[in-house]
Amino acid sequence: MTTTEGVDNGVNVQALLDAREALKGAPEAAQFTWRATTRWEKGVHTTTTVKDFAGLGAEQNHKAESAFTADHPEVFAAEDNGITPIEYLLVGLGSCLTAGVASVAQNRGIQLRSVEATIAGAHDIRGILGADSDVRNGYNAITVSFKVDADASREDIEALVAQSQKRSAVFDALTNPTDVSVEVV
């Protein structure tokens, strides 16, 4: 696949294709560690910061530190200083799939005009409240609906979205299990 001239979605596909080839022969450089630090404020209000990560065999930094507030809404008797932790999963999913659509479109020579994804997660809160031990704590199901305006047929747009899903880090993380270990230091 080559990048079609004249199409510019702002994704440097050539750099990604070059990285793919380079990392085939250097698997250790492909090992990234992403990090975050969460500090308790009060109640269920927390602040999480993200700044540094490791990858390409070295310590790396984002240009700026980002801080994220989480809380519970007033209907849970909290102060609603920010979105809930589980909503951050929808932020990750929507942004990952949408970034993927742009990358695949660039690679396929499809000019995008606009992309919007609506994400909805169905959550039975009896799980986290301990009201019913048969109810899971997490989402029961998540739906993502894309509106894409592009120089492409509906069939090509559906194929774009399907390919984005196939390569999405967050889609995989939500649809398949990951080992999470929690310790007290």
Distance in angstroms (rounded) separating the CA atoms of residues 107 and 127: 43
Compute CA distances 121 → 73, 89, 90, 91, 179, whole Å: 16, 9, 7, 11, 22
At 76 the three-state DSSP class reads helix
121 binding a second copy? (CB under 8 A): yes
Residue 20 buriedness (CB in 10 A; 0-12 / 13-18 / 19+): exposed
Residue 4: CB minimum distance to a second copy, A: 16
Tokens of 164: 């984005």
112 binding a second copy? (CB under 8 A): yes
75 binding a second copy? (CB under 8 A): yes
Distance in angstroms (rounded) separating the CA atoms of residues 140 and 10: 35
96 binding a second copy? (CB under 8 A): yes
Distance in angstroms (rounded) separating the CA atoms of residues 171 and 90: 10
131 binding a second copy? (CB under 8 A): yes
Q: How many residues bind a second copy (CB under 8 A)?
A: 129
123 binding a second copy? (CB under 8 A): yes
Distance in angstroms (rounded) separating the CA atoms of residues 46 and 66: 14
Among 7, 108, 110, 119, binds a second copy (CB under 8 A): 119
By beta-carbon proximity to a second copy, the closer residue of 5 and 113 is 113
Residue 101: CB minimum distance to a second copy, A: 7
Binding mask 3-22 for a second copy (x = CB under 8 A): ------xxxx--xx--xxx-
Binding mask 27-66 for a second copy (x = CB under 8 A): x--xxxxxxxxxxx-xxxxx-x-x--x-xx---x-xx--x
101 binding a second copy? (CB under 8 A): yes
